[in-house]
Structure 1
Amino acid sequence: MAGGLFALLDDIAVLAKAAAASIDDVGAAAGRASAKAAGVIVDDTAVTPRYVEGIDPKRELPIIKKIAIGSLRNKLLFILPAALLLSQFLPWALTPLLMLGGTYLCFEGVEKIWERIAHRGEEAAHGGEETAPDEKQITSGAIRTDFILSAEIMVISLNEVKSEPFLSRAAILVVVALAITVLVYGVVALIVKMDDVGLHLSKTGSGFRRSFGSGLVKAMPPLLSTLSVVGIAAMIWVGGHILLVGLDELGLHAPYDLVHHAEEAVHDATGALGGVLGWVTNTIGSAILGLIVGAVVVAVVQAVHKRKAH
């Protein structure tokens, strides 16, 4: 009886060690997968703050919370099951779906540029009057854009662990989804509330703290404006890059080869700065493709709206 008990305890210890090793493997794989998606994570962080521009400061964190919950719902309830099932049964469908998302990102970015141009004309015509932002519309728009970026993050992560068993892939993607959502929206919340921190320091602090707080208050408006521009540029660049890689995978190699050869030429010709300037060249090429595709889609959408209006 005692021998049986000790054998059972030994079995439990072995299982516990195996489970611990499995958890370590999942954590390490999730870290590798997240690192591969780092570029899109940065883009996601840059895109989100522009959604709370012009919002009552008291409503900024509640709106970001709603967007974060929507982002997590996107990842866990929609993207993760779909990505796992597609990778298991229809792996060829992932690339066209990613390209569809990339096209939407290009459209979203170019549409924002068009809206800014058109809005200036409307301001001039209406004496610069502005309407209050609609929170519901802002939140739904942000969650919709997040869906595309989240899908890109999850598919890139999935591609890094595609050789893992099905359940391990699922566990790794859950960890990636939770970690990235907390990271992105934690940073976004910190960015948009930094001016409040600065105001508090400038009023309650003394010496360096007061000066630092005043500096934060002055720095935040240009920082948020810069992030807004970066967010729009990021959507166009990421969307264009998705399309560039997708076309190459589907057999249309010319656009990718053109950008890749330009990147290599710049890399080889610029010495120590070759890596950075080569990446810039690739980014510019992706952005040009994104601008072209986005402009075409915006033109089509505008034409459809005008036809409906008439």
Structure 2
Amino acid sequence: MAGGLAALLDDIAAIAKLAAASVDDVSAAAGRASAKAVGVVIDDTAVTPRYVHGFSPARELPIVWKIAKGSLRNKLLFILPAALLLSQFVPWLLTPILMVGGTYLAFEGAEKIWELISGHAKEHTTVPVAAKGEDSEKSMVGGAIRTDLILSTEIMVIALNEVSHEPFLARTIILAVVALLITAVVYGVVALIVKMDDIGLHLAERSSRAASAIGRGLVKAMPKVLSVLSTVGIVAMLWVGGHILLVGVDDLGWHAPIDLLHQLEHLVDGVPGVGGFLAWLIDTLGSAIVGALVGAVVVAIMHVIPKRKKPVAAH
């Protein structure tokens, strides 16, 4: 009896060690998968504050929370099951789906540039978002969640590619961990960015001269920071959209575009001290140019060409 109990305890200990090892493996794999997606995470963080800009301070954190919940819902309820099923049964379909998403991102970035050039952006920004009412808030949140869907899909697919060799259950757990981790990081940083001016006001009222000076500096700087982030967000959409398209056409068999980009990278990657940065810059600019060109075509189809069509005169 004692021997049987000892054997049972040994088995339980072995199972516990195996479970602990599995948790460690999942944690490590989730960390690797998240690290692979860090570029898109940065883009997501840069894009989102653009949707919060213009709301009253009291609505900023609730708006960020709404977008964060929509992002998590995107990842866990739609992207995660779809990615797992597609990778299991029709993995070849992932690339075309990603390319559709990349085209949409490129369109969004190019559309913002077209609005700036055509003057439509001024029409949208004349009235503060807070004064436009609840419908405008819903529209902005919806737009942010739609954009997040594309970026989150890219993040999750990158993570999926990193752990594609894992068993189905382990892949599911790892991707769920990545979804929670990435959402917390992105929207935690976004919340900090959009509330930085309020933090500055709080510091400006402190009795300490140093704290007060820092607070005043934050208050003055934040409108410019948000404006810069808005521009970075537009560029990020073109960059990520173009990169998705370049990788997609390469996976589908047309290697010339990405090969040309790699050749240009090789020309500068040997430059002492700055070679790595220059190679990254060429990759980024090349992807952004592709995104801008594809986005411009879609903008022309959606906005420019229909406006230039004149109604046929009745005889």
**TM-score exceeds 0.5:** yes
**Structure 1 residues 22-64: Cα deviation after superposition (integer angstroms, max 9, x where no partner):** 0000000000011010000000000000111111110000000
**Structure 1 residues 50-86: Cα deviation after superposition (integer angstroms, max 9, x where no partner):** 1111111100000000000000000000000110111
**Structure 1 residues 248-282: Cα deviation after superposition (integer angstroms, max 9, x where no partner):** 111111111111111111223x2221110011011
Match of 1:144 in 2: 146
Superposition deviation, residue 201 in structure 1: 0.7
Q: Please tell me the residue identity of whatever aligns with 1:33.
A: A
Match of 2:157 among 155, 158, 161: 155
Deviates more, 1:256-265 or 1:65-74: 256-265
Match of 1:190 in 2: 192
Q: Secondary structure at the match of 1:251?
A: coil
Q: Please tell me the residue identity of whatever aligns with 1:104.
A: Y
Match of 2:234 among 232, 235, 239: 232
Contact 2:115 2:121 in 1 (8 A): no
Q: Secondary structure at the match of 2:176?
A: helix
Q: Secondary structure at the match of 1:272?
A: coil
**Structure 1 residues 84-141: Cα deviation after superposition (integer angstroms, max 9, x where no partner):** 1111111111111111111110001111112233345865xx9x84263510000000
Match of 2:289 in 1: 288
In structure 1, how many angstroms separate the alpha carbons of the residues matched to 2:126 and 2:185? Answer: 37
In structure 2, how many angstroms separate the alpha carbons of the residues matched to 1:55 and 1:285? Answer: 34
Superposition deviation, residue 303 in structure 1: 4.9
Aligned residues: 306
Match of 2:167 in 1: 165
Q: Please tell me the residue identity of whatever aligns with 1:88.
A: Q
In structure 2, how many angstroms separate the alpha carbons of the residues matched to 1:52 and 1:173? Answer: 28
In structure 1, how many angstroms separate the alpha carbons of the residues matched to 2:89 and 2:155? Answer: 20
Match of 2:254 among 239, 252, 262: 252
Q: Residue 16 and residue 122 in structure 1: after superposition, are their counterparts in 2 closer, same or farther (change >3 A)?
A: closer
Q: Residue 179 and residue 205 in structure 1: after superposition, are their counterparts in 2 closer, same or farther (change >3 A)?
A: farther
In structure 2, how many angstroms separate the alpha carbons of the residues matched to 1:164 and 1:139? Answer: 35
Superposition deviation, residue 308 in structure 1: 9.9
In structure 2, how many angstroms separate the alpha carbons of the residues matched to 1:16 and 1:305? Answer: 65
Superposition deviation, residue 6 in structure 1: 2.1
In structure 2, how many angstroms separate the alpha carbons of the residues matched to 1:10 and 1:205? Answer: 63
Residues 1:23 and 2:23 are matched in the alignment: yes
What TM-score comes out, normalization by structure 2 length? 0.93
Match of 1:135 in 2: 137
In structure 1, how many angstroms separate the alpha carbons of the residues matched to 2:233 and 2:252? Answer: 28
Superposition deviation, residue 305 in structure 1: 5.3
In structure 2, how many angstroms separate the alpha carbons of the residues matched to 1:291 and 1:42? Answer: 19
Q: Residue 147 and residue 120 in structure 1: after superposition, are their counterparts in 2 closer, same or farther (change >3 A)?
A: closer
Match of 2:103 in 1: 103
Match of 2:34 in 1: 34
Contact 2:112 2:121 in 1 (8 A): no
Q: Residue 121 and residue 90 in structure 1: after superposition, are their counterparts in 2 closer, same or farther (change >3 A)?
A: closer
Match of 1:51 in 2: 51
Superposition deviation, residue 204 in structure 1: 2.5
Q: Secondary structure at the match of 1:271?
A: coil
Q: Residue 205 and residue 152 in structure 1: after superposition, are their counterparts in 2 closer, same or farther (change >3 A)?
A: farther
Trace 1:77-116 onto structure 2 (pairs within 5 A). 77-116=77-116
What TM-score comes out, normalization by structure 1 length? 0.94
Q: Residue 186 and residue 309 in structure 1: after superposition, are their counterparts in 2 closer, same or farther (change >3 A)?
A: farther
